[in-house]
Amino acid sequence: MSLALMPPERVVAIARSWIGTPYRHQASLQHAGTDCLGLLRGIWRTLYGSEPEVVPPYSQDWAEPQGDEVLLRAALRYLEPQERALSAGDVLLFRMRAGSIAKHLGVCSRAGEESMFIHAYSGHAVTESPLSPPWQRKIAARFCFPLGV
């Protein structure tokens, strides 16, 4: 770990404040609409004031046909990779199918026997869901928000 990390309770509190925000593809406006990336963008803005780069338009398949790991590369540019045990506040990047690109994001809100995560997905408002074994198997990478950006 090269940087100090944002306190996890702060990250989780911000993520929880988005619960109930409706799903809207490419949106990132609390209470109005968001997708999974928009949720992370909103947390970033609350923590740091502005986003690190302009997010270009993207399709719902996240460049899956091309096999382009767009989301993973972006996470590696701005977040701190984690290899320690799962912890609240971790940003979770998921592969929805084995062999596919990583294209879903969430924030671990509770780690342990009853792990939970907060995420936005099509047809649902931002919600806190159990991080069940099937979800855990889909985790491609974990990250934390750095303290100093």
In a domain, 106, yes or no: yes
Residue 149 lies in a domain: no
Percent of all residues in the chain with a pLDDT value above 70, rounded to a whole number: 93
d(CA 17, CA 31): 9
In a domain, 66, yes or no: yes
Q: What is the pLDDT of residues 11-66, one digit of tens each?
A: 999 999 999 999 999 999 999 999 999 999 999 999 999 998 888 877 776 655 66
| 1, part of any domain | no
Residue 3 counted as domain residue: no
Q: What is the predicted pLDDT for the residue at 65?
A: 61
Kindly state whether residue 53 falls inside one of the protein's structural domains.
yes
What's the number of domains the chain is made of? 1
Structural domain contains residue 41: yes
CA–CA distance, 44 with 20 (Å, rounded to integer): 18
Residue 14: give the domain boundaries.
Answer: 8-144
Residue at 33 is within a domain: yes
Tens digits of residue pLDDT in 79-120: 999 999 999 999 999 999 888 899 999 999 999 999 999 999
Per the DSSP assignment, residues forming a β-bridge with 70 are: none
pLDDT of 2 over the 60 cut = no
Question: How many angstroms separate the CA atoms of 2 and 24, rounded?
Answer: 35
| Confidence at residue 56, expressed as pLDDT on a 0 to 100 scale | 81
CATH of the domain at 20: 3.90.1720.10
Q: What single-letter DSSP state applies at residue 24? A: -
DSSP state string for 57-110: P--TTTTGGGT--HHHHHHHHHSEE--SS--TT-EEEEESSTTSPEEEEEEEEE
